[in-house]
Chains A and B, each alone.
Chain A
Amino acid sequence: MNKKKIIIPLLAVLLGFITGAIVMILTGHNPIEAYSALLKGAGLFGDVKRFGDTLLNMTTLILTGLSVAFAFRTGLFNIGAAGQMLMGGFVAVLIGVKFNLPPFIHVTIATITAVLAGAAWGYIPGLLKAKFRIHEVVSTIMMNYIAMWSVYYLVPKYIPGSFSTESKAINTSASLRTEWLTNLFKGSYVNLGLFLALIAVLLIWWILEKTTFGYELKAVGFNLHASQYAGMKVNRNMILSMMISGALAGLAGATYYIGYANNIKIGVLPSQGYDGIAVALLGLNSPFGVALTALLFGFMNAGRLFMQSSTSVPNELVPIIIAIIIFFAATSLMLETWLKKSEKFFKKSEGGK
Chain B
Amino acid sequence: MEYIIEMINIRKEFPGIVANDNITLQVKPGEIHALLGENGAGKSTLMSVLFGLYQPEAGTIKVRGKEVKITNPNIANDLGIGMVHQHFKLVHNFTVTENIILGMERVKNGKLDIDSAAKRIEELSKRYKLTVNPHAKIEDISVGMQQRVEILKMLYRDAEILIFDEPTAVLTPQEIEELMHIMKNMAAEGKTIIIITHKLKEIKAVADRCTVIRKGKSIATVDVKETSEEKMAELMVGRQVSFKVDKKPANPGKEVLRIENLNVKDNRGIKAVKDVNLAVRSGEILGVAGVDGNGQTELIEAITGLRNIESGKIFINDIEISNLPVRKRSEAGLGHIPEDRHKHGLVLDFSLEDNMILETYYKEPFSSKGILNREKIRSYAEDLIKQFDVRSGQGATTLTRSMSGGNQQKAIIAREVDRSPEVLVVAQPTRGLDVGAIEYIHKRIVQERDKGKTILLFSLELDEVLNLSDRIAVMYEGEIVGIVNASETNENELGLMMAGGGRDSHE
Q: Which of B329, B343, B347 is A222 in contact with, Cβ under 8 Å?
A: B347
Chain A interface SS verdict (over half): helix
**Which chain A residues border B358 with CB–CB below 8 Å?**
219, 226, 229-230
Q: Which of B329, B338, B349, B372 is A215 in contact with, Cβ under 8 Å?
A: B372
Indicate if the CB atoms of B343 and A226 lie closer than 8 Å: yes
- Interface size (A, Cβ < 8 Å)? 18
**Which chain B residues border A229 with CB–CB below 8 Å?**
304, 306, 326, 336, 338, 344-345, 358
Indicate if the CB atoms of B349 and A212 lie closer than 8 Å: no
Smallest CB-CB separation from B329: which chain A residue? Answer: A231
Q: Which of B325, B338, B343, B354 is A231 in contact with, Cβ under 8 Å?
A: B325
A239 to B398, CA, bound (A): 30
CB distance from A150 to the nearest CB of B (A): 36
Q: Is B94 an interface residue (CB 8 A)?
A: no
**Tier of interface size on chain B:** 20 to 34
**Which chain B residues border A222 with CB–CB below 8 Å?**
347-350
Q: Which of B329, B348, B370 is A223 in contact with, Cβ under 8 Å?
A: B348
CB distance from B331 to the nearest CB of A (A): 9
Indicate if the CB atoms of A223 and B371 lie closer than 8 Å: no
Known A215-B372, A228-B306, A231-B326; contact A223-B367, beta-carbon cutoff 8 A? no
Q: Is B362 an interface residue (CB 8 A)?
A: yes
CB distance from A274 to the nearest CB of B (A): 27
Q: Is A213 an interface residue (CB 8 A)?
A: yes
**Which chain B residues border A225 with CB–CB below 8 Å?**
343-344
Indicate if the CB atoms of B371 and A226 lie closer than 8 Å: no
Q: Is A210 an interface residue (CB 8 A)?
A: yes
Indicate if the CB atoms of A230 and B359 lie closer than 8 Å: yes
Smallest CB-CB separation from B336: which chain A residue? Answer: A229
A215 to B372, CA, bound (A): 9
**Which chain A residues border B371 with CB–CB below 8 Å?**
210-212
Q: Is B146 an interface residue (CB 8 A)?
A: no
**Which chain A residues border B374 with CB–CB below 8 Å?**
210
Indicate if the CB atoms of B362 and A212 lie closer than 8 Å: yes
Known A222-B347, A226-B346, A230-B358; contact A211-B326, beta-carbon cutoff 8 A? no
A16 to B101, CA, bound (A): 39
Indicate if the CB atoms of A230 and B372 lie closer than 8 Å: no
CB distance from A285 to the nearest CB of B (A): 13
Q: Which of B306, B347, B350, B361 is A212 in contact with, Cβ under 8 Å?
A: B361
Q: Can you list, as one digit per residue, whether each of B366-393 has a CB less than 8 Å from chain A (1) or not (0)?
A: 0100111010000000000000000000
Q: Can you list, as one digit per residue, whether each of A184-219 has a CB less than 8 Å from chain B (1) or not (0)?
A: 000000000000000000000000001111011011
CB distance from A348 to the nearest CB of B (A): 13
Q: Is B330 an interface residue (CB 8 A)?
A: yes
Smallest CB-CB separation from B358: which chain A residue? Answer: A230
A205 to B499, CA, bound (A): 56
Indicate if the CB atoms of B370 and A212 lie closer than 8 Å: yes
Q: Can you list, as one digit per residue, whether each of B320-362 has a CB less than 8 Å from chain A (1) or not (0)?
A: 0000011111100000101000011111111000100011011
Q: Which of B325, B348, B350, B370 is A211 in contact with, Cβ under 8 Å?
A: B370
**Which chain B residues border A216 with CB–CB below 8 Å?**
361
CB distance from B239 to the nearest CB of A (A): 34
CB distance from A220 to the nearest CB of B (A): 9
**Which chain B residues border A218 with CB–CB below 8 Å?**
350
A230 to B361, CA, bound (A): 10
Q: Which of A210, A215, A223 is B361 in contact with, Cβ under 8 Å?
A: A215
Q: List 28 interface pairs A-B (beta carbons < 8 Å), by A numbering.
A: A210-B371, A210-B374, A211-B367, A212-B362, A212-B367, A213-B370, A216-B361, A219-B350, A219-B358, A222-B347, A222-B348, A222-B349, A223-B343, A223-B346, A223-B348, A225-B344, A226-B345, A226-B347, A226-B358, A227-B347, A228-B306, A229-B326, A230-B326, A230-B359, A231-B305, A231-B328, A231-B329, A231-B359
Q: 9 shortest A-B CB distances, which residue pairs?
A: A231-B327, A231-B326, A229-B344, A230-B358, A222-B349, A223-B347, A212-B367, A230-B359, A225-B343
Beyond the given pairs A226-B358, A227-B347, 17 more chain A to chain B contacts, judged by CB atoms under 8 angstroms and listed by A's residue number, are: A212-B361, A212-B367, A212-B370, A212-B371, A222-B347, A222-B349, A223-B348, A225-B343, A225-B344, A226-B347, A229-B304, A229-B306, A230-B358, A231-B325, A231-B328, A231-B329, A231-B359
